[in-house]
Structure 1
Amino acid sequence: MSKSLLIISRQAPWSGPGAREALDIALAGGAFDLPIGMLFLDDGVWQLVAGQKPANLQQKDLSANLQALPMFGVEALYASAHSLRERGLDGKTLILDAAVLADTDLPTLIDRYDQVITL
């Protein structure tokens, strides 16, 4: 039986390689049918906002990779309600259908997974 993996993505898509690496891990694991979830926390929630122009910062657009997650079997997607609220974002306008969780729900989510990677 495969061990489940939760990837916690905490970096904005334009702040360095962490966001891309988290997506690469999720897509690779999904390709091998591993049970994977992704939690977008802190500045990581910026990855879920539509209409970004990463080329202005000489970065690659991650939206295609994000939208490929369900096709690779990565359907357990979560976003922190607190992180969204702190950044003036609304969970209803995200580019992915991510469950928005309160901070009190995060420990329970993390405990459901065998392994956790934070980037």
Structure 2
Amino acid sequence: MARSMLIISRQAPWAGPSAREALDIVLAGGAFELPLGLLFLDDGVFQLTKAQQAASLEQKDLTANLQALPLFGIDSLFVARRSLAERNLDESSLALPVEILDDAGLSTLINRYDHVITI
């Protein structure tokens, strides 16, 4: 039986390679049909915002990669309510459907997975 893995993505999409690396791990794991979840925490919530203008920062837009996640069997997407609130974001500002979790829900989520990787 495959071990489950939760990837916690904490970096903004334009803050370096971390956001892309987290997506690469998730997509690779999905290709091997591992039970995976992806949690956006802290500045990682900015990866989910609509109408990103990555080209103006000479970065690649991650939106297409994020929208491809269901094709790889990655349907478990989560975001921290506190991270959204601290950045003045709400569910309507997100480009993808995600499950929004409070602090207690985050703890439960993390304990549900066999392995947790923070990027």
TM-score of the superposed pair, with normalisation by structure 1 = 0.98
Paired with 2:31 and 2:75, the residues of 1 have a C-alpha distance of: 13
Encode CA deviations 1:80-102: one digit per residue, 9 max, x unaligned: 00000110101233111100000
Unaligned runs of 5+ in 1: none
The answer to whether the Cα contact below 8 Å between 1:12 and 1:19 also exists between their aligned partners in 2 is yes
Structure 2, unaligned stretches of length 5 or more? none
- SS at structure 2 position matched to 1:78: strand
Q: Which runs of 4+ in 1 moved over 6 A?
A: none
In the alignment, the residues of structure 2 paired with residue 90 and residue 31 of structure 1 have an alpha-carbon distance, to the nearest angstrom, of 31
Task: Give 1:39 shift.
Answer: 0.3
RMSD: 0.7
How many pairs align? 119
Give yes or no for the alignment of 1:86 onto 2:86. yes
- State the shift of 1:104 in Å: 1.7
Residue number in structure 2 paired with 1:113: 113
Q: Deviations over 1:27-68 (max 9, x none)?
A: 010011000000000000000001011111111000000000
Could you tell me how far apart the structure 1 residues matched to 2:14 and 2:5 are? 24
Local SS of the residue matching 2:11: coil
Q: Percent identity, aligned pairs only?
A: 63
